[in-house]
Every structure is written in structure tokens, then in C-alpha cells.
Amino acid sequence: MVEKQEKVEITYEYTRRRKGFGRQTLFGDHGPNLCVSIPSNPAMYKNYILRNPVHFGIQNTGTTSEHWVNSVRAEYTSSGMNHIEGGWPKDINTNDPEAMQRYRRKIEKDDAYIHAVMHLGHSMEHNILQNNAVDMYEIYYSELGTIPPVERSSCHTVNVYREPGSNRRPVRSLSWQADGARLASAHADVNFMRNTRSPQCSYIWDIENANAPELIISPPQPLLDLQYNPRDQHILVGGMMNGQVGCWDMRRGSEAVALCPPHIAHRDLASNVLFINSKSGAEFFSSSPDGVVKWWDIRNISEPTDSMIIDPVKTNNDTQSVENALGISALEYEPTIPTRFMVGTETGLVIGGNRKGKTPLEKLPSKYEAHFGPVYALQRNPTFLKNFLTVGDWTARVWSEDCRESSILWTYAHRTKLTDGAWNPIRFSLLLVTQWDGCLSCWDLLRRRSAPIVTAQLCDEPLLRLRPHEGGQLVACGSSLGTIYLPELSQNLGTADKNDKQLLTHILERENKRERILEARMREIRLRMRQDRDGGQQLADNESCVSDKDLEEATTEYLQTVSELHALQQKSQQT
């Protein structure tokens, strides 16, 4: 028996950069370094037996190896069959359609052709009927209703984007590009007096690359809001901490292409900017805690095209004043209603505005007392435009424009503060709300209104901003440490069913009708209380007098009737 031996060649590949070629190699002596010294315990000697000699090898670094394996080779071939029409005589050219047609007409004129077709027809009919007897594609028991599958709602994080550097600032704004491939994030530390060395840049992220931002926006002041132009995916507008607004073009780099002068900017932080529906696609408007809303045009940003003071308290001369203006914390605009907008104030009010109004009453026609503190989020439902969402203090509320005194739907009071919220653009019955404890909660009005259907703990720090993707399943959430989390919702939370619109319509109409009935009842109670307060005592005396007089008349009539009946009874007994 011959034993076959194979030689194994051990190689080591050393790689080095080209810039290191040709340099002098310097060697030196280096003594051993004592890492740790553990003294022996004499009390433990009796538990062990001395072993001599002992040979033991120690390797300080990890051992790696490289080898190649040749797998079994598999050969694949592609083959097929060519089906052609047969049964033709040899003298007939099958490539000539005219020759084949002449031969076919010749055969059809033969008397035996009819009998042959009739004879073959019976066997062919038998085979056809036999194949049709069993339909393998038939759906049996179609009258039974299908059992809906058990839905498993979930939410998991697919990517995390961290602000470069060590000085990480809170995320103040998030905006998706029109095609959904990029995400713009604005970072700013409002407490800039405590952190004067804080950076001022914001970032454009490619959602497929979380290692580094695709573009760094360098504004003169930290940005509080940064929004993409829905018509031009390369244009962005932003509001800065000193009240200025500016425009950036991704094709021109990180510097601003247009900035408004400081003397016409907002007096306070330019906290919100939004594009409006215009023919040029270059108009937007901004708001600030100074209580003023200003409209701008990118083509000429040297001065605002229009402005409006949010002063719902009317004075005697029916004019609006900046001194009485309410600070704006949220801004909302719907492109299908071009002249109208809504603002959320720092006092908890939601005020509807009309840009084309002539008088202060026409400019600010509606007012809703939404929350006890600032309104952090304000957004109309993408399908039901009369209903809008507000987020503030510890609750999220759904309002209707027809009911101004109270909301039609609301969540329970959370233990932690709510920071932002939005509707899902595809599943329009889903509310997305971020919380101060780092949780993202999903409320589905069609499935359950008493509690969120999914609550995901994304991080330990507070989540400040939220912006859902237009596809419906991705949601961008920004935290107070400058980190952007990208969770993905399950399929049932990101898609809408054909009956969802009809079901949500019934829910909103029912709740709207209920609130109108309660509002009418409260108006009656307040009217009655006002009447009682104005002339209540006199009215009560008059009512008491009238009631005593009626009681006396009724008593006299009753006694007279009883006496007449008693007299008739005695008369009948005597007779």
C-alpha cells in the first residue's frame, strides 16, 4: 500500500502602500513589557499536583490563515426542441406558402377528405370533453368569505445617520427630496450662549450611505428649518437663528445663493419655512416667534412680497399690532388651497389665515384652542383636508374645521411630552407621534383609538422631529443628540385598503356630528347661565308668583269637581 503525500505551500502576502516604497527600514531593540502580575496563593497549593516538565505555547496576537478550495465543477447546457408542421409530401416546399395553399385546396376538394374529418371529429370531441370535465383552475366554495390574515404590525430601524464631529446638536428640521433618495437635516443649538463654539452647518444625506453626508450646507447662522422645493429637487430654502431666510442650490455647493438682508428679516428666530403653490415654483413663506408671517420670492429675496401679523385680538380701530402678536411655533400649508394657511402659536392656539383677506377678520377667520402649551406640530390630513392634526403638551388631537370649540378625536395624556407628529401619506388613517422618552408611536384610527397600535423605542434621548417618506413605510426621526433614525413600518401600516377611505369617512362624520351636538348643548347652557346672571332674580320671582297662582286655581277647580261628584252621589242614593 502506497501512501500518497501532498506538499502544502504556506505563503504570506505582505501589502504596502506605494508611498511607503523606498524608505529606509529602521530596527531597534525593544525589551519586554510587563502587562499584569498575579501572585500565587500558597493556600491553594494543596489542591494541585506539581507537573514537571510543562511545555505550553502562547500566542499574543490572533492567528489567521488563508486557503483555497476548488469546488466540484458543474456544467450546464441549454437545449430545446424545434416543432415544425409535418405530413407534407416530398415534392411540396414547406417554405413556399403559395405551394402549400394550392395543395391544401386540392385535398379539400377530394370526397374522402370530408369523411376523414367527420371520422376524426368524434374522437377529438371525446378528448376535449374529457379534458373539460375536470377544471384544475376552478375555485371551489367561492361563496364562503375569506378569512382575513392576522396582521402583525411592527417597526424596526433600518439605518442611523449621526452628525459628524463631537459637538452634536439637536435636529431641528427634516425634509425629504421629491424622489425620496436624499434627506435634508437642519441642526442648531438654541442655547448658543452656552455653547459658542458649536458648528453652524447642516447636512444632505443619501439614505443608502450613512457613513458620511453627501453635502454639507454652510449657512452664516445655524439653520432652524431646511425644506426642499417640491418642483426642483436641487433647490432648498431655510430659516436661520438670526431671523434671516436663504436659498441653497445643491449644484453650486454648500454656500447660499441668496440671502435676505438682516434689516428686513424676522425679529426673532426664523423657525418655519414652507414652499407655496405658485406658477414659478419659487415662492415660499416663513414664520417666527415674533408673530409675523412673511412671503418671499427666490428670484428677488431682497424684500418680502407680503407679510401678515398674527394678532387675533382686535382693538377698537380694528388694526393689528406687532405688540399683541402671538409667537408662531408651527406652520401648515396645503397646495390645493393656495390662499389659505394655518399657524400654531406658543400659547396653544391654532389660527387659520387667509392671505387674500382685506380686513383683519377676513385675514384670520378661525381660531381653535388646541393645547395648554406651544403647538409643536400642525398638519392637514392628506385625503380629508377639513381635518388636521395638532401635537402639543401631552396629547395629539384631530380637529375639524366645522367644530371650533373642541377636537373630534384625541389620544390619552401621555406620561412624557409629545414633540412632533404627522399623518402617513399613504395610509391616511395612521398618526405618527414622537415622544420625549425616545419612542415612536403609531395610532391607527381604524384599528384602535384607545392605544397606539405600535410603539417602538428608537433611542434613549428625546426625539424632536419626524418626517414620513412619501412611500409610506419609511419614517425619519431626529433626536436631541443630532442622530437621525430611519425606522421602517410593516406592510400593513404603510399601505391603504380599498375600504379605508369609506370607513374613515364614516368615523370622522360621526365624531363631527357628535361634537356639533355637544357644542349646541353648551351654547344653550351658556345662554341660560347668562340670562340667569343678568335678570335671574326678578325672573325667578315672577315665575314663583305665576306658579302659586296656577296652583291655587287648580286646587279650587279640583275641590269644586269633588264637591259636585259628592252631591251627585248622594242624590242618586236618595232616589
Q: What pLDDT shows up at residue 1? A: 44
Tell me the three state secondary structure of residue 211.
coil
Is residue 388 a contact partner of residue 379, using CB atoms and an 8 Å limit?
yes
Is residue 465 a contact partner of residue 172, using CB atoms and an 8 Å limit?
yes
Tell me the residue range of the domain where 232 lies. Answer: 161-313+322-507
Tell me the three state secondary structure of residue 222.
coil
Strands of the 155-162 sheet, one edge to the other: 155-162, 483-489, 475-479, 463-468
Which range (51-65, 349-363, 387-401) has the least confidence?
51-65
Check pLDDT > 50 for residue 539: no
> What average pLDDT does range 462-474 have in this prediction?
90
pLDDT digits (tens, 9 = 90+) for 228-268: 998 888 899 999 988 899 999 988 888 889 899 888 888 88
Between 330 and 535, residue with greater pLDDT: 330
Check pLDDT > 60 for residue 537: no
Q: What pLDDT shows up at residue 139? A: 67
Is residue 457 a contact partner of residue 438, using CB atoms and an 8 Å limit?
yes
Q: How big is the CA angle at 458 (ends 457 and 460), to the nearest 5 degrees?
A: 80
Which range (119-133, 240-254, 485-499, 528-542) has the least confidence?
528-542
Question: Could you tell me the pLDDT band of residue 25, with boundaries at 50, 70 and 90?
Answer: confident
- Asked if residue 101 is part of any domain, the answer here is no
Report the share of the chain in percent with pLDDT over 90.
19
pLDDT digits (tens, 9 = 90+) for 503-523: 888 889 888 888 888 888 888
CATH code: domain of residue 485: 2.130.10.10
Check pLDDT > 80 for residue 31: no
Check pLDDT > 50 for residue 178: yes
Q: Is 359 exposed, middle or buried (0-12, 13-18, 19+ CB in 10 A)?
A: exposed
Question: Could you tell me the pLDDT band of residue 149, with boundaries at 50, 70 and 90?
Answer: low
In degrees and rounded to multiples of 5, residue 108 shows phi and psi of -65, -25
Check pLDDT > 90 for residue 432: yes
Which range (76-90, 122-136, 481-495, 535-549) has the least confidence?
535-549
Omega prior to 53 cis, within 30 of 0: yes
Q: What pLDDT shows up at residue 546? A: 42
Q: What pLDDT shows up at residue 475? A: 92
- Asked if residue 418 is part of any domain, the answer here is yes
Dist CA 405 CA 399 (whole Å): 10
Joined together, the cell numbers standing for residue 257 give 445663493
Q: Which amino acid is at 237?
A: V
Q: How big is the CA angle at 284 (ends 282 and 285), to the nearest 5 degrees?
A: 160
- Asked if residue 362 is part of any domain, the answer here is yes
Q: Which amino acid is at 404?
A: R
Sign, CA dihedral 236-171-182-444, equals negative
Report strand pairing: 483-489 vs 155-162: antiparallel
State which H helix or E strand residue 556 sits in. Answer: helix 500-574
In degrees and rounded to multiples of 5, residue 320 shows phi and psi of -100, 145
Q: What pLDDT shows up at residue 323? A: 80
Question: Could you tell me the pLDDT band of residue 498, with boundaries at 50, 70 and 90?
Answer: confident
Sign, CA dihedral 411-412-413-418, equals negative
Q: What is the DSSP string of 506-538?
A: HHHHHHHHHHHHHHHHHHHHHHHHHHHHHHHHH
pLDDT digits (tens, 9 = 90+) for 185-242: 999 888 764 455 677 889 999 888 888 899 899 898 889 999 999 888 889 999 998 8
Q: What pLDDT shows up at residue 114? A: 83
Check pLDDT > 50 for residue 568: yes
Is residue 411 a contact partner of residue 398, using CB atoms and an 8 Å limit?
no
Check pLDDT > 80 for residue 280: yes
CA atoms within 13 A on the CB side of 140: 3
- Asked if residue 4 is part of any domain, the answer here is no
- Asked if residue 515 is part of any domain, the answer here is no
Is residue 244 a contact partner of residue 221, using CB atoms and an 8 Å limit?
yes
Q: What pLDDT shows up at residue 6? A: 55
Instruction: Give residue 64's region: left, alpha or beta (phi > 0; psi -120 to 50).
Output: beta
Bridge partner residues of 366 (DSSP): 352
Q: What pLDDT shows up at residue 344? A: 92
Is residue 485 a contact partner of residue 459, using CB atoms and an 8 Å limit?
yes
Check pLDDT > 90 for residue 391: yes
Q: What is the DSSP string of 319-368?
A: ---STTPPPEEEEEE-TTSTTEEEEEETTSEEEEEETT-SSHHHHS-EEE
Sign, CA dihedral 222-227-228-231, equals negative
- Asked if residue 538 is part of any domain, the answer here is no
Dist CA 20 CA 195 (whole Å): 42
List of E strands, 93-250: 155-162, 171-176, 182-187, 202-206, 215-217, 223-228, 235-240, 245-249
> What average pLDDT does range 162-181 have in this prediction?
87
Between 90 and 384, residue with greater pLDDT: 384
Report strand pairing: 387-392 vs 375-380: antiparallel
Place of cell 444632505: 204
Which range (321-335, 338-352, 353-367, 534-548) has the least confidence?
534-548
Q: What pLDDT shows up at residue 550? A: 65
Nearest-Å Rg of the Cα atoms of the chain is 41
Q: What pLDDT shows up at residue 555? A: 77
Whole-structure pTM value? 0.65
In degrees and rounded to multiples of 5, residue 538 shows phi and psi of -65, -40
Check pLDDT > 90 for residue 99: no
Dist CA 377 CA 332 (whole Å): 9
In degrees and rounded to multiples of 5, residue 354 shows phi and psi of -130, 115
Q: What pLDDT shows up at residue 545? A: 45
Q: What pLDDT shows up at residue 2? A: 43
Q: What pLDDT shows up at residue 315? A: 45
Question: Could you tell me the pLDDT band of residue 88, with boundaries at 50, 70 and 90?
Answer: confident
Question: Could you tell me the pLDDT band of residue 22, with boundaries at 50, 70 and 90?
Answer: confident
Q: What pLDDT shows up at residue 8? A: 59
Q: Indicate the number of domains in the chain.
A: 1
Dist CA 435 CA 393 (whole Å): 11
Q: Which amino acid is at 98?
A: E
Mean pLDDT across the chain, nearest whole number?
A: 83
CA atoms within 13 A on the CB side of 409: 23
- Asked if residue 464 is part of any domain, the answer here is yes
Check pLDDT > 90 for residue 273: yes
Q: What pLDDT shows up at residue 477? A: 93
Between 264 and 564, residue with greater pLDDT: 264
Q: Is 175 exposed, middle or buried (0-12, 13-18, 19+ CB in 10 A)?
A: buried
In degrees and rounded to multiples of 5, residue 225 shows phi and psi of -150, 140
Check pLDDT > 50 for residue 316: no
Q: What pLDDT shows up at residue 376? A: 92
Q: What pLDDT shows up at residue 232? A: 86
- Asked if residue 88 is part of any domain, the answer here is no
Check pLDDT > 70 for residue 419: yes
Question: Could you tell me the pLDDT band of residue 485, with boundaries at 50, 70 and 90?
Answer: very high
